Structure 1
Amino acid sequence: MSGDWREGHGGACHDHDTAGRREAGASGTKGTEPIGWRGDGWSRGRRRSGWDLLPFVMVVLVGLLGTAQGKTFETVIDTSDQWVYLDKFVFDDTGNGVLVYEIEIAEAEKNGISRSDFTIVCKQEIQQGNTTNFTMSSCTQVPNPSTYLLFYNDVMDEKHEWRTVYEDRLMSCEDKVRWARQPVPLESGIINRATIPLNEASLPRFWYVVLANCRSDSINARVTIWFKNNGWEQNSITSEFSYDEQGLLEMTIFYFATYTVGAFFMGGVMYRYMEKDVIHEIHWMLLGSFACYWTMHLLFLIHYAKYSQDGMGYEWLGIFARCLEVCGLVIFINCLLLIARGWTITTNKLSRKSENVFLSVIIVCIYVALFFSETMLDPAYSHYIYDSWPGYLLVAMQIFLLFLFLSLLHRTATFEKRVVKRAFYKRFGAIFSLWFIQLPIFVAIASVMPVYYKAKVMLGIQWGVQLCSFLLLPALSTTKNTHEIYSTENNYDARIPSVARQQRVLPSAMQIPASQMGSVPGGLPPVNRQMQANLGRAEGYGE
């Protein structure tokens, strides 16, 4: 069937040569402890190597040129559950993906007899005269395997669909094993190792891997699984990525290179502003936000480059990169709101600082909630960050910021009387209103996409929109009118009143600077003080 594991994988060789069998004692002692490992059963191990000590640049280069191993899942399981979820992976539709596993099951004890050493112990019991429970014919029988590596997929129209099995808490362990798309028997006491190929499918599919032992009250095993997509035979740097993550490395390389080129553009703009003595806090905040995003892409590049080599990467670098992204976003939003308030463009006084601080705290709290929500969600499900309640809050916050931005900008533009600055506010409002509204629009579009496209498409769009925003903001002012827009010499020195107050108060009472009063080209015409006028004659009277 399309998308199934290829037939014949059950005959894959189990590596008995590397098995660590336990020799039975000469005395035939029955009460020996089973071989086992102790670990936090659901934790994912991380292999350490000399990579952690190399400089970042070397990590990137070696990561890009290294040999791909595949996405790696490595853990030690010690749990009382009979059915344990391990990991998931999206295989593409080419049918060239494979799964490689290496699993060592601890030898289970039953009535004091180790299953893997059944034949040896059985013969020892017969030699000691214990023929009640053991016979020579039973010693030649191999015990049936009790541990299975199970595979489920996400096909909705088949009984093996993952959610049906995972969410049914009343289903027995035996029923879950029978409903598996493909069970692979495992033997205790040895290292089970095999490569399982995948058939061609009509669409990319999520495959979920489970370890089960319905005959025991616990599972004790050491598990390592490598997932490989199409291109693993050619050591492609993208083959180890799950299909829903393929393209992240290429996007990171592109955006890091683009941000690096953009850094020279930003540097040139800042130098030009410094030459004209019009640089102020807004520009430094914008540069700080740009630096956060540039560093974020650098850290993501290191993480994904390392991931392309060992299937693990540097998870802590990914977390730190996301923190930098939030910092850069908060700074950028504050820049937009401060410009909308007219700070350093129309007025020199920054009013209502507490509002910006409060909004910044709210945004950070939403992102923190989004992060913890993502970490606490069940990894057995396929999640999308904007399908959670923090994601809904983030979209709602973006819409609220849009209305706040337009309200502040309308107040400032109404108060501003200089033509050049009013034109700047119009361009600024038209462009960055789209910046605020783009997130809800793209989230709505992504909601109808397949789940394995949502995250990477949204990530690429968000990164691209932010890059364009950095490059467009300095471009709103031309070289000729830069000084007129950013000069603070004739700015208003008090808080900009609301639109309602501006309509109530006479312009003369608002102490508008002379530079904002307007002028007549060429000056006023000369006044003839000797001129006399007869108003009555002008109206036709007195004749």
Structure 2
Amino acid sequence: MLWSLFVVLQLVHTGRARTVHGSLDSDVAWHGRGQHIVTFLFHGDQAVLRVKINNVAAAAGKESALYLYQDEQWVQIHSSLEEYSCPERLSLAQDTIPLNQTEYNYTLPQMAYPKAWYVIYVDKFTCLVKYEDQKSDAITFEVAMLNPDAAGNPFDHFGADESGLHEFFFLLVLIYFVAACIYIQALWQMMKKGGPMHTVLKVLSTALLLQVVSALANYLHLSRYATDGKGAPLVGSLAELCDIASEVQMLYLLLSLCMGWTLSRKKKSQGKPLQWDRTPASTGIAVLAVSAQVILLVWELFEDANHHSFHAHQSLAENLLIAMKICLAISLACGLYQIITVERSTMKRQFYITFAKGCFLWFLCHPCFVAISFLFKEYQREKVITVGVIVSQSVSMIILYRLFLSHSLYWEVSSLSSVTLPLTVSSGHRSRYYS
């Protein structure tokens, strides 16, 4: 399943490049009243659209041209398609680039704020009532979108919705590297030694490792993207695959722990050392939730051609993912509230409360940042969601690490012989691992 998902991601990523290659097709242009080439968020006063074609004679014979629409005009056309004839639609274009030379550099007008521009291919056959297949030489093209860089020169391949992400992932990778240098040896020794937190720490560390790989892959992809506008689609797909795997693993871990505690609350359970209570009910709930999440994530891939790890959530699949996370948070809150309210031990209550903080931060950071993103302009929303969710999930992992690595807290809780903790151990194991 993961390999199939990786192949899907690889195919989806082919539409994300900002240096676009392809063929100009009169048939496609006639059926769609224009062939959509690319959409890009330009900004500044030196943004450039660079066009190259290989067959000038064929393009000139067809009277080929690229029509440029700003977001307002494009939305106006598509909100009421029946009201506009084909010539009227073309007349609403902001500008036209005739394809009568091998290379053309078009400088866009100065913009006070970033705007989305749509590039549409049109020729003399586009508005005909009836189109007959015209046998002609193929016209291949290369279109590059370039925003002004810090020096004001048109060399920046990043759109306004992507600017800053390259620097963010560089900083994130640097922080991960520094943290690994400081803590990796102690964590490895703890996991190597074993103990009651061994399984949880192993699963948590695997999820964190997946996030590290995702951040590194995103940085490598964006580094290459910055130079050629194409990036490395294979590496970008790997980043998204790691994000999905990390999400799924954390969901299974948190649900298994919390549901195991909740379902075993009223019965005597001799949990195995180093494991949470794997009752049929808790396992079934976790597997069902994970399966639903995977289905929604795959559905989301097919709905959005410009897939990123996180979105502004406008499609049905994305909205269902948000609703699912909110429902899971509410469910976990109800289960933990019932345990905390009847728990007499202050230390146990503190253990559950800290765990609840880590759970709620993980599940609710995504819905919360989606809501917060609507306070920003549309081109800023994905960046707000991406940065906010990644930082929040990292903080959630830190909270859970601190909880399960805290020897004094854990042993004080487990020494109370609680049957509600899935990681309790027998007295023999306690004397073996106690430090």
> What pairs with 1:485-500 in structure 2 (closer than 5 Å)?
490-492=417-419
Over 3 Å counting, the alpha-carbon distance change for 1:229 and 1:45 in structure 2 is same
Q: Does 1:222 align with 2:140?
A: yes
Q: Which moved more, 1:475-484 or 1:280-289?
A: 475-484
Q: Does 1:202 align with 2:115?
A: no
Measure, in 2, the Cα distance between the counterparts of 1:477 and 1:282.
8
CA apart distance, 1:268: 2.5
Match of 1:258 in 2: 175
TM-score by length of 1: 0.63
Match of 2:50, as an amino acid?
A: V
Alpha carbons 2:53, 2:140 under 8 Å: kept: yes
Q: Does 1:319 align with 2:237?
A: yes
Q: Does 1:90 align with 2:41?
A: yes
Over 3 Å counting, the alpha-carbon distance change for 1:370 and 1:385 in structure 2 is farther
Match of 1:102 in 2: 52
Q: 2:94 aligns with which of 169, 181, 204?
A: 181
Over 3 Å counting, the alpha-carbon distance change for 1:101 and 1:488 in structure 2 is farther
Match of 1:72 in 2: 19
CA apart distance, 1:221: 2.0
Match of 2:335 in 1: 408
What's the secondary structure of 2:105's corresponding residue?
strand
> What pairs with 1:93-492 in structure 2 (closer than 5 Å)?
94-105=44-55, 107=57, 146-155=63-72, 161-166=73-78, 168=81, 171-187=84-100, 191-215=101-125, 217=131, 220-231=138-149, 239-264=156-181, 265=183, 268-269=186-187, 271-272=189-190, 275=193, 277-341=195-259, 348=271, 349-351=277-279, 352=281, 353-375=283-305, 385-413=312-340, 418-476=345-403, 479=406, 481-484=408-411, 490-492=417-419
What's the secondary structure of 1:202's corresponding residue?
strand
Alpha carbons 2:69, 2:94 under 8 Å: kept: yes
CA apart distance, 1:475: 1.9
Measure, in 1, the Cα distance between the counterparts of 2:173 and 2:121.
40
CA apart distance, 1:435: 3.4
Q: Which moved more, 1:263-272 or 1:360-369?
A: 263-272
CA apart distance, 1:342: 5.6
What's the secondary structure of 2:112's corresponding residue?
coil
Over 3 Å counting, the alpha-carbon distance change for 1:464 and 1:318 in structure 2 is same
CA apart distance, 1:162: 1.2
Aligned pair count reads 386
Alpha carbons 2:361, 2:392 under 8 Å: kept: no
RMSD value over aligned CA atoms?
3.7
What's the secondary structure of 2:93's corresponding residue?
coil
Alpha carbons 2:347, 2:409 under 8 Å: kept: no
Measure, in 1, the Cα distance between the counterparts of 2:293 and 2:39.
32
- The structure that is helix-richer by fraction is 2
Alpha carbons 2:358, 2:397 under 8 Å: kept: no
What's the secondary structure of 2:37's corresponding residue?
strand
CA apart distance, 1:45: 12
Over 3 Å counting, the alpha-carbon distance change for 1:341 and 1:261 in structure 2 is farther
CA apart distance, 1:107: 4.4
CA apart distance, 1:298: 1.5
Match of 2:42, as an amino acid?
A: F
Alpha carbons 1:442, 1:458 under 8 Å: kept: yes
CA apart distance, 1:514: 12
Structure 2: gaps of 5 or more residues? 1-10, 272-276, 428-435
CA apart distance, 1:330: 1.6
CA apart distance, 1:425: 0.8
CA apart distance, 1:86: 0.7
Q: Deviations over 1:398-442 (max 9, x none)?
A: 111112212332344457554422221122224532433332222
Match of 1:530 in 2: none
Q: Deviations over 1:38-64 (max 9, x none)?
A: xxxxx9998xxxxxxxxxxxxxxxxxx
Alpha carbons 2:361, 2:393 under 8 Å: kept: no
CA apart distance, 1:394: 0.7
Alpha carbons 1:278, 1:487 under 8 Å: kept: no
CA apart distance, 1:183: 1.3
CA apart distance, 1:487: 5.0
Over 3 Å counting, the alpha-carbon distance change for 1:197 and 1:375 in structure 2 is closer
Match of 2:143, as an amino acid?
A: I
CA apart distance, 1:339: 3.2
Measure, in 1, the Cα distance between the counterparts of 2:228 and 2:148.
16
Match of 1:72, as an amino acid?
A: T
